[in-house]
Structure 1
Amino acid sequence: MGRVIAVANQKGGVAKTTTVASLGAAFVLRGLRVLLVDLDPQSSLTFSLGVDPDVVDHSISDVIRGEVLLSAARLRTSEGMDLVPSTIDLLAAEAMLLPAPQREFVVRRGLEEVLGAYDVVLLDCSPSLGLLTLNALAAADEVLVPLQCEMLSHRGVGQLLDTVADVHRLLNPRLRVRGLLPTMYDKRSVHARAVLADVKRRYRVPVLNPIPRSVKFAEAPSMGTTIVATSPSSSGARAYFRIADGLLRAWRFGGRKVAPARPSRGAHSYGPPSAAEPEDTAGAL
């Protein structure tokens, strides 16, 4: 049965799509069967993996409307992941869900048909805390929260953690926070290091090793692929391999699951980061 991970943050531009695509590619190279689901009406994941949303036969919108099974909407990407693409029609599909009974569980029910065929399912959430993100959280075993290492970029993380806690309590008791994933990190920047230290103090959840800032991330989608394929030896690709390997170790060896936690000012659960390189917590969750 596949492990379902929602990659969520209501703020845009924090590398949610990059994280889903790069982790998916890393998992495939580790021998896993991987499904990616684009739950963003902007179709960023679909575009970045070389799929034109305007010409796909079916998308996650059709699944949500009950017109096709999720298996019928899957495409195979060049790197070996399966993808359920998104189109702009997802906006209308989300609106259609509003009056529907059990509206938070539509994505979960769609995934049930295919979970046995995958080791990992990654859900790329839209930059909002709307119904699509709630569906992802209701379907997931874990949530991974990318956040940019800038002071204003993590102001909404507390709200997201509150939402995760509510979903855990009301809709999905198996949901856990896997961790916060700092992205676009420049360890030479005093500001970036200060933000990382503040994040570690503020939230009682694991903070994974940061993903470094790199122009290679911007180049890969133009070729319809990921940094793992275009620049496998780059610092960015190596960082995602470390995150993927840490997750695999945690799952394989029964690492502790971290319960949803509300933000806590002044919490020093993980200590201050090194000015040079924060500790690797990915394999200890």
Structure 2
Amino acid sequence: MKIIASYSNKGGVGKTACAVNLAYSLAQSGHRVLLCDLDPQGASGFYFRVRPSRGLTGKRFFTRAERISDAIRGSDFDNLDILPANMNFRDFDVFLSRMKRSQSRLGKALRGVREEYDCVVLDCPPNISTLSEAVFRAADAIVVPVIPTTLSERTFAQLLEFFKDHGLEKRKIRAFFSMAQGTKKLHGETMRRMRKDHAKRFLDVTIPASTDVEKMGVHRAPVGSFAPSHDAAKAYMTLSREVVKSL
């Protein structure tokens, strides 16, 4: 079982859209996928019309594997199940900070489902925290959407610096450009510069700015399910192939 985290230390970059569409694309390719929503806002579950997981607290998540299994829900798509979040997840950092070997707890909790799934996709909260570090340790790949702007470039540099300072494996990072607009000069310049400066970190795929991604909230479904021939859907499918290939 491979663990793939959709993560960014900056909000509003398409992190949840990445998690939802990556999980969907992997499932469409025949992989057995669990989308695990770690963000207490529960956006991933919302997109799949799955209600929040009542009663799943930090204690139950990190110490009782059967509770995770009980909270998993099926989706409307073959090979794809959802572990929805709830507002109790906002206390994950507090709970982990009190546990011994907190950095390894997430990986240990997810081992309980390793026989049922080929891939677990994590939709992570947009911050650097105790939970984030547990994600960095547990994940086989950390997929990072980056909008080609100055602030996103800065936060990506901060993420790399955090990995360096804490002895984390930068090779796990698979960044890609998100919400890119070819007509914007700044976007083009930023993408060229960052690909040159971080050649080993960036995948080839670029997710274009698209109204189809915005319409996910209306359809409450992945882009590929309602606009499969459009550019954004094709780009997410390419993203899934590149991530699998890199693993």
TM value normalised by structure 1: 0.79
Q: Deviations over 1:184-228 (max 9, x none)?
A: 011121111011012113325332221001011111133221101
Q: Give the equivalent residue in structure 2 for 1:85.
A: 84
Alignment of 1:43-192 (within 5 A): 43-53=42-52, 56-59=53-56, 61=58, 62-64=60-62, 66=64, 68-80=66-78, 81-165=80-164, 169=167, 176-192=171-187
Structure 2 regions of 5+ residues with no counterpart? Answer: none
In structure 2, distance between residues paired with 1:220 and 1:60? 28
Change in Cα spacing, 1:98 to 1:194, as seen in structure 2 (3 Å) is: same
Change in Cα spacing, 1:224 to 1:59, as seen in structure 2 (3 Å) is: farther
Q: Give the equivalent residue in structure 1 for 2:215.
A: 219
Q: Deviations over 1:43-80 (max 9, x none)?
A: 22122222232xx3454744136485321221111123
Q: Deviations over 1:150-169 (max 9, x none)?
A: 221221112212333455x3
Q: Give the equivalent residue in structure 2 for 1:14.
A: 13
In structure 2, distance between residues paired with 1:60 and 1:5? 22
- Residue 35 of structure 1 pairs with residue 30 of structure 2: no
Is the helix fraction higher in 1 or 2?
2
Deviation at 1:178, TM superposition (A): 4.3
Report the 3-state secondary structure (helix = DSSP H, G, I; strand = E; otherwise coil) of the residue aligned with 1:41: coil
Identity score, percent: 25
The CA RMSD over aligned residues, in Å, is 2.1
Q: Which residue identity does 2:61 align to in structure 1?
A: V
In structure 1, distance between residues paired with 2:240 and 2:151? 27
Contact in 2 for aligned 1:36/1:122 (Cα 8 Å): yes
TM value normalised by structure 2: 0.90
Q: Which residue identity does 1:52 align to in structure 2?
A: R
Q: Give the equivalent residue in structure 2 for 1:262.
A: none
Change in Cα spacing, 1:118 to 1:166, as seen in structure 2 (3 Å) is: farther
Q: Which residue identity does 1:93 align to in structure 2?
A: F
Q: Deviations over 1:75-123 (max 9, x none)?
A: 1111231111111111123212212111122211111111122111111
Structure 1 regions of 5+ residues with no counterpart? Answer: 252-285
Contact in 2 for aligned 1:39/1:60 (Cα 8 Å): no
Report the 3-state secondary structure (helix = DSSP H, G, I; strand = E; otherwise coil) of the residue aligned with 2:128: coil
Contact in 2 for aligned 1:65/1:93 (Cα 8 Å): no
Q: Deviations over 1:237-261 (max 9, x none)?
A: 000111212233444xxxxxxxxxx
Q: Which residue identity does 2:18 align to in structure 1?
A: T
Q: Give the equivalent residue in structure 2 for 1:234.
A: 230
In structure 1, distance between residues paired with 2:236 and 2:18? 8
Structure with higher RCO (Cα < 8 A, 6+ apart) = 2
Q: Which residue identity does 1:72 align to in structure 2?
A: D
> What is the aligned residue count?
244
